[in-house]
Amino acid sequence: MVEKPRAEWSDEDKKKSNLYNVAKDILYKTLDKNMFIKIKTCSTAKEIWEKLTQLCEGNDQTKENKLTVSIQKFVNAKMKPGETMAEFDERFSNIICELIYLGKIYTNREISLKVMRALPRE
């Protein structure tokens, strides 16, 4: 693909270039220093997005490992001694959100039963 000189850009080309720069700017501004260092060599917004996707989501093997770990967290979830219901609810909700993000959906019935089993007898 040959890029046109700026002098030959149409209004549509200028609009696309501006949107492209806005997209890069948004991506740059939302990253912390550590993540920025990992993507600073990328030259396009698409390259940045693909690199971030790979870094955050990983490949299929990484996703499978994350799912396995999240399922184990769900299976082993128990209310800790001294933990309040609010704290347990937040921790358990985070586990459910992880599972949903990774594509594992439990029914409301399964979640309710797990919560009941996770509570201490008293």
Is pLDDT at 1 greater than 60 in this prediction? no
Residues 39 and 68 in one domain: no
Residues 33 and 67 in one domain: no
In SS3 terms, the chain reads as CCCCCHHHCCHHHHHHHHHHHHHHHHHHHHCCHHHHHHHCCCCCHHHHHHHHHHHHHCCHHHHHHHHHHHHHHHHHCCCCCCCCHHHHHHHHHHHHHHHHHCCCCCCHHHHHHHHHHHCCCC
Decide if 2 is inside a domain.
no
Residues 77 and 48 in one domain: no
Segment 44-59, tens digit of pLDDT: 888 998 888 888 777 7
Domain tally, the chain:
2
Segment 51-80, tens digit of pLDDT: 888 887 777 788 888 899 999 999 999 999
What range does the domain containing 13 cover?
9-57
Residues 114 and 72 in one domain: yes
Residues 66 and 104 in one domain: yes
Residues 40 and 65 in one domain: no
Residues 53 and 13 in one domain: yes
Residues 69 and 44 in one domain: no
Residues 77 and 52 in one domain: no
* Per-residue pLDDT band at 85 (split at 50, 70, 90): very high
Choice between 92 and 62, residue whose per-residue pLDDT is larger:
92
